[in-house]
């Protein structure tokens, strides 16, 4: 694995600007060449960033949040019966281990052998920073593997994935590494994240003008490295991992202490953000605001129109790919925060987030009124694989500045957000509740209820939030937290996993529903066919053939 991946990466570098070096006769650079050239050496690490995810809105088409209108959608096929260990739309195995191979090679074979700078301070700091960066990235990819492939093995044990922490030759029989337990994987990943937290700046900033070695500091730790792995990203990932480990699917013994560990780590992220009072309304449509206070980590900005081509209604020259369901629409409370609305006027007086995330019958988008009932283009099922199947179109992530008119296409700025601060307020609210109850802050500066209130208030619900304040029943409060998570993190790649972590079989197999008259008459759109064992994803079939233990129920 290491050899072939590295060869492909360095060929790319040769094409893209490092061609001053002559490769070997087989077009591969050896480590002896790489370590003499810091740009090539850093390229090994940078290659590990290549598999960071793109937009994830398609994933919700395999959940009760949405359906896809194209029959070939891998997530639609997964939801309707084709999901198996050889055809897993939610799998991350190959891409994650590819990036882990880069980080292992960089950590074990590259970083300490390179002379990063003739300045001794910078050379030592580069080694420290780049090692920590690589270990943080390795943790990220192992978390992707845990999410998609951890589960109860055929032995009955709760297993994670093979933890490969050194370069291996996958062609060797001895390279078959057995799966570690889930808890062992969590421990390994936390070791990497703690190392990153301890050895990286929390964020990359240029030093103040008064700092004696400002030029050297800025070169190693300056703002130029924004959007690479840093301390606050690693801490946020640690909070996310601890939260996963506390949830029912991965905490079969019901260890309540796990909730406290996750809450404490999430509180550190919240405090770094500035506390609940720092939440701003701009977080709700962060995806069209690159300066949003909610963005913790994102990928680079690019100009394009592909997201809109995928999801604009056909009257706006889009393909209407992802259609929110009536199930999702029903999750939004009314404007006062109560889980009820006027059935005769279902789109009036709703949670402000509804209007930002969903295009519904009679709504206006780009100055056009969208008719999802009987319009020749936008109406229900009127244009095959372009019109909505549910009576709704996706508005979240869509930039209204994009124009798709033939001959007059206008692009807009886009970026993929990898981590949002909102997620960690939700993690704290849930974990602190499970640890201390609804209103008791325990050892924290704020209670679960106060954090949830701040989230809902910044989303545009009333400051007094009479509904939230009225809840005393733990089951009702738990349902509210999980509903808020569903709304806030919709179409960001969370829903599929969240309902599995909570063993919510009703949600996992809920039939996707739609409306045929604009919100008062409903029909079934698509049944889900997930078996009970599918709360855990499968180990890929080729890996099982090599000897890895499969998760129970999968072949």
How far apart CA 533 and CA 314 sit, in angstroms, is 38
Q: Are 105 and 6 contacting, i.e. CB atoms less than 8 angstroms apart? A: yes
pLDDT at 379: 98
Mean pLDDT of 320-349: 97
Is the pLDDT reported for residue 339 higher than 50? yes
* Residue 365, pLDDT above cutoff 60: yes
Find out whether 415 and 482 touch, Cβ atoms under 8 Å.
no
Give residue 173's pLDDT: 58
Neighbour-count burial of 118, counting CB atoms closer than 10 A to its CB (0-12 exposed, 13-18 middle, 19+ buried): exposed
On the question of pLDDT at 11 being above 60, the answer is: no
Q: Quick one: pLDDT at residue 172? A: 64
Which residues are CB-contacts of 363 (< 8 A; sequence separation ≥ 6)?
Answer: 347, 355, 369, 370
Quick one: which of 280, 305, 363, 337 has its CA closest to 487?
A: 337
d(CA 452, CA 286): 19
Distance, in Å, from the CA atom of 370 to the CA atom of 378, rounded to the nearest integer, reads 7
pLDDT at 31: 85
13 versus 348: which is more confidently predicted?
Answer: 348
How does the average pLDDT of the chain come out, rounded? Answer: 94
Reference 131, options 206, 41, 195; nearest CA is 195
Three-state DSSP at 106 gives: helix
Q: 430-444: per-residue pLDDT in tens?
A: 999 999 999 999 999
What is the H or E stretch that residue 449 is in? helix 448-458
The model's confidence at residue 32, banded by pLDDT at 50, 70 and 90, is confident
Residues 6 or more apart in contact with residue 44 via CB below 8 angstroms: 6, 9, 34, 102, 105, 106, 110
Cβ neighbours of residue 341 closer than 8 Å, sequence gap 6 or more: 333, 334, 348, 349, 350
Question: Which pLDDT value is given to residue 293?
Answer: 94
The average pLDDT across 399-407 equals: 96
pLDDT in tens, 184-233: 999 999 999 999 999 999 999 999 999 999 999 999 999 999 999 999 99
Task: State pLDDT tens for residues 452-488.
Answer: 999 999 999 999 999 999 999 999 999 999 999 999 9
Q: Which pLDDT tens digit goes with each residue over 505-550?
A: 999 999 999 999 999 999 999 999 999 999 999 999 999 999 999 9
| Residue 147 in this model has a pLDDT that exceeds 80 | yes
Residues 164-197 pLDDT 10s: 999 987 666 556 899 999 999 999 999 999 999 9
- At residue 15, the pLDDT reads 30
pTM of the model: 0.94
How high is the pLDDT of residue 171? 65
Q: How confident is the model at residue 7, as a pLDDT?
A: 37
Task: Report whether pLDDT(1) > 60.
Answer: no
List the domains of the chain with CATH numbers: 1-34 (no CATH), 91-228 (1.25.40.390), 230-301+418-503 (1.25.40.900)
* pLDDT of res. 168: 87
Mean pLDDT on 21-49 = 79
List pLDDT tens digits, range 369-396.
Answer: 999 999 999 999 999 999 999 999 999 9
Give one DSSP letter per residue of 112-177, joined into a string: GGS---SSHHHHHHHHHHHHHHHHHHHHHHHHHHHHHH-EEBTTS-EE------S---TTSGGG-P
The CA distance from 292 to 304, in Å, is: 20
The answer on pLDDT for 447 being more than 50 is yes
Q: Which pLDDT belongs to residue 22?
A: 39
Whether residue 21 has pLDDT greater than 60: no
pLDDT in tens, 245-285: 999 999 999 999 999 999 999 999 999 999 999 999 999 99
The contacts of residue 21 (CB under 8 Å, 6+ apart) are 14, 29, 33, 37, 40
Distance CA 235, CA 214 (A): 26
Q: Which residues contact 178 (CB under 8 A, 6 or more apart)?
A: 162, 548, 549
């Amino acid at each position: 694995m290491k050899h072939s991946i590295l060869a492909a990466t360095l060929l790319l570098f040769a094409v893209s600007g490092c061609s001053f070096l002559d490769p070997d006769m087989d077009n591969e650079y050896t480590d002896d060449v790489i370590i003499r050239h810091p740009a090539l050496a850093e390229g090994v690490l940078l290659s590990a960033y290549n598999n960071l995810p793109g937009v994830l809105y398609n994933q919700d088409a395999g959940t009760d949040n949405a359906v896809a209108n194209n029959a070939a959608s891998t997530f639609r096929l997964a939801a309707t019966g084709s999901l198996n260990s050889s055809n897993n739309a939610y799998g991350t195995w190959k891409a994650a281990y590819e990036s882990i191979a880069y980080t292992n090679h960089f950590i074990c074979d590259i970083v300490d052998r390179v002379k990063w700078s003739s300045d001794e301070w910078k050379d030592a700091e580069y080694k420290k920073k780049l090692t920590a960066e690589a270990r943080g990235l390795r943790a990220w990819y192992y978390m992707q593997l845990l999410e998609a492939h951890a589960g109860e093995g055929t032995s009955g044990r709760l297993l994670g994935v093979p933890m490969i922490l050194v370069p291996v030759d996958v062609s060797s029989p001895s390279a078959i590494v057995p799966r570690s337990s889930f808890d062992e994987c969590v421990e390994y990943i936390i070791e990497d994240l703690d190392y990153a937290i301890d050895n990286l700046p929390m964020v990359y900033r240029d030093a103040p003008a008064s700092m004696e070695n400002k030029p050297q500091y800025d070169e190693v730790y300056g703002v130029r490295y924004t959007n690479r792995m840093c301390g606050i990203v690693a801490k946020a990932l640690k909070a996310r991992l601890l939260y996963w480990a506390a949830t029912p699917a991965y905490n079969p013994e019901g260890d309540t202490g796990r909730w406290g560990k996750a809450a404490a780590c999430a509180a550190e992220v919240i405090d770094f953000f500035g506390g609940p009072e720092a939440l701003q309304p701009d977080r709700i449509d962060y995806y069209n605001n690159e300066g949003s206070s909610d963005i913790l980590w994102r990928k680079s900005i690019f100009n394009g129109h592909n997201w809109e081509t995928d999801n604009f209604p056909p009257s706006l020259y889009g393909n209407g790919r992802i259609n929110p369901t009536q199930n999702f629409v029903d999750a939004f409370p009314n404007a006062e925060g109560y889980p009820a609305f006027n059935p005769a006027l279902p789109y009036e007086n709703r949670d402000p987030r509804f209007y930002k995330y969903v295009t519904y019958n009679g709504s206006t988008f780009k100055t056009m009124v969208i008719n999802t009932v009987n319009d020749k283009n936008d109406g229900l099922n009127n244009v095959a694989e372009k019109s909505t199947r549910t009576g709704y179109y996706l508005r979240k992530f869509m930039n209204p500045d994009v124009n798709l008119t033939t001959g007059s296409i206008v692009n807009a700025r886009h970026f993929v957000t990898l981590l949002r601060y909102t997620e960690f307020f939700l993690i704290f609210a849930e974990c602190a509740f499970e640890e201390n109850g609804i209103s008791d802050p325990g050892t924290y500066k704020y209670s679960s209820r106060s954090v949830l209130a701040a989230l809902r208030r910044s989303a545009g619900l009333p400051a007094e939030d009479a509904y939230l304040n009225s809840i005393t029943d733990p089951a009702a409060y738990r349902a509210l937290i999980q509903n808020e998570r569903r709304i806030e993190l919709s179409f960001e790649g969370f829903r599929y996993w969240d309902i599995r972590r909570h063993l919510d079989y009703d949600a996992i197999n809920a039939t996707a529903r739609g409306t045929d008259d604009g919100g008062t008459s409903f029909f079934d759109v698509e049944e889900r066919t997930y078996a009970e064992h599918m709360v855990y994803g499968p180990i890929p079939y080729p890996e099982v053939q090599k000897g890895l233990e499969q998760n129970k129920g999968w072949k």
